[in-house]
Structure 1
Amino acid sequence: MQLEGVHHVTCITGDAPGNVRFYTDVLGLRLVKKTVNQDDPTVYHLFYADEEGSAGADITFFEYPGARRGRAGAGMVHTVTFRVASEDALAFWESRLASEGVSSSRTHARLRFEDPEGLGLELAVVSVPDEPLVARHPQIPAEVALQGFDGVRAFAADPDRSRALLETVLGFRGTGEGSWELRGELRGGLYGYDTPPAAGGGVPGAGTVHHVAWASTMEDHDAWQRRVADAGLQPTPVIDRFWFRSVYFREPNGVLFELATLGPGFGIDEDPDHLGESLILPPAFEHLRSQVEKVLTPLPDPRVAWTA
């Protein structure tokens, strides 16, 4: 069995309209599913990805309106890294972000910045065999567009506590002190640890990562759940999220992991040409539509303006 790199990264926002604008208008991702948090259907769950809504490009947000900013600390992911194709792409993004009032810092082959709520983001020039996962945007040429995830970095006081789980149970390969790669037949992704900040522990809230999900095939998913359970990590049962199946557990340094399946996918209940345009509820939640629509902030289709 092999896991196929990063499936998705789920974060928290306190401002759904601002979140949509930044990730679609500024970063050029496609809003591929507008739905609700299935554990709390009174709040949005927004999914942004490439044009096809692919695993490996899918950053998602729970919206808690007005939520205070959080702060990443030990046991939390602090940076999400996307791939780009070239140094020219980094130059494009440095200029584009500056025009939007977003400060950034550039080093060789990397560009660091934050989203409007303080979530740490990074663009990295990498050379991998993985298919580029790109969304269309009228102001962003395909050759400089984001190409899906390269990986995430978390804070941990003792990275070695997680080594056995990562390498022996989940199949990560060590690439250096505190860093690992998870590579399957289709995709790969990186995971690493940094020393936690000295100023207090983490505070969940807007601008923080809730969990990182690693991709599993449908055929192997039950076996992965059993394998994690046999390692003593107390995973949840397999949970049907309709668009994929999920298993959750905390790795030894406290980061919340999910194993999520490659499918059925976001096209199972929407025309692929119209992903993210309407509020979509999984069948088990459809009876709640009249209630949730009253409390959710109206969100326009971010692509409507393209035809104006």
Structure 2
Amino acid sequence: MTYIAGHHHTSMITKDANKNNHFYKNILGLRRVKMTVNQDDPSMYHLFFGDEIGSPGTELTFFEIPMAGRTHKGTNSITRIGLLVPSYESLLFWSERFKQLKVKHGEITEYTQRPSLSFEDPDGLQLVLIVSEQSLSFWRGWSQSLIPKEHQIMGMGPVEMTVRRPEKLQDTLVNMFGYSISYREEKLTVYQSLAGEPFGEIVVIEKDGPDERPGRGSVHHLAIRVKDEEELKYWESKVREKGFLTNGIIDRYYFKSLYFRESNGILFEIATDGPGFTIDTDLVHLGETLDLPPFLEERREEIEKMLKPIEENE
């Protein structure tokens, strides 16, 4: 049976790779599992943070655009990224850590009917820690994280989308991808790719008004997860049958994927689980040096000259 196995990764825009690297490695305690470049524009970094091996479902990725202006918030955009932690005690740990490190954050409250703690990264990206007491089978804790394992971020949870026409997005999620409705409030609906599992949730909020104008701290796209290329080809046919435009399957070396925009303009990527980040680097040294896919390797010297070195200070 072919189905969407949850989130694969999200990709965001950062203005400063050094500040971004410090925040996600040294404050959130995630592992930088891949330091590479945007394959479509190798003049910019593409950084991947996740669990020990960058398992699908744990990856937060960032394109560095030094000239990025501020985000003009609006509708038809991905507006918040949920991150799962093991317990309510973890929220207390993180609240205290954020206070000590002067991270902008809110009070412990509820989001998607679960205990939660909202915060922002240095670019203003909206994030929220959410308690998921059930263990995630795909998550591999990182022993060298600065965060105790009992409080480590386990992966992505609910991803929030704000749209003008929620019925169009519902048609895509339910009728094309097979998501189910978990619950509904006024102008808010929660969809799950796998019933009862928070790691594949999409929160859809109805909001009229102008479209968001992206900048630093905005979300470029959500990638959802499939097993292999055979399944990806199945979804390519479904996307085309639905009338969405796509450039077809692209080999990103670490995974294969395809992109399309649904009717509100939200950019989705469908990505395969493998081959993964250890295809060109051993587990011990993941993310330590600049990795390039084979088709860019011959341009390494040119590419390295375009990139500002990332400092590894804690």
- Establish whether TM, by shorter chain, passes 0.5: yes
Alignment correspondent of 1:253: 264
Are 1:3 and 1:184, in contact at CA under 8 Å, matched by a contact in 2? no
Q: Is 1:170 matched up with 2:177?
A: yes
Which residue of 120, 129, 148 maps to 2:126? 120
Assess, with a 3 A threshold, how the Cα gap between structure 1 residues 197 and 59 changes in structure 2: closer, same or farther: farther
Q: How big is the alpha-carbon RMSD for the aligned residues of Structure 1 and Structure 2?
A: 1.9
Moved over 4 A (4+): 184-188
Alignment correspondent of 1:148: 155
What letter is aligned with 2:257? S
The offset of 1:68, in angstroms, is 1.4
| Counterpart secondary structure, 1:21 | helix
Alignment correspondent of 2:276: 265
Q: Is 1:292 matched up with 2:293?
A: no
Assess, with a 3 A threshold, how the Cα gap between structure 1 residues 49 and 138 changes in structure 2: closer, same or farther: closer
What letter is aligned with 1:210? H
How does 1:1-308 map onto structure 2 within 5 Å? 1-105=2-106, 106-108=108-110, 109-128=115-134, 130-131=136-137, 132-137=139-144, 139-177=146-184, 178-183=189-194, 188-196=199-207, 200-218=210-228, 219-301=230-312
| Counterpart secondary structure, 2:301 | helix
The offset of 1:140, in angstroms, is 1.3
Rounded to whole Å, the distance in 2 between the matches of 1:104 and 1:141 is 20
Bigger shift: residues 11-20 or 218-227: 218-227
Are 1:84 and 1:126, in contact at CA under 8 Å, matched by a contact in 2? yes
Identical-pair percentage: 38
Are 1:13 and 1:63, in contact at CA under 8 Å, matched by a contact in 2? yes
Are 1:90 and 1:123, in contact at CA under 8 Å, matched by a contact in 2? yes
CA deviations 1:72-100 (Å, max 9, x no partner) are: 42221110001011110000000111111
What letter is aligned with 1:209? V
Assess, with a 3 A threshold, how the Cα gap between structure 1 residues 222 and 138 changes in structure 2: closer, same or farther: closer
CA deviations 1:150-190 (Å, max 9, x no partner) are: 12001112211122211111111111232200128998410
Are 2:77 and 2:211, in contact at CA under 8 Å, matched by a contact in 1? no
User: TM-score, structure 1 length as denominator?
Assistant: 0.93
| Counterpart secondary structure, 1:263 | strand
CA deviations 1:254-299 (Å, max 9, x no partner) are: 1100000000000000011100000000000011111111110101
The offset of 1:66, in angstroms, is 3.7
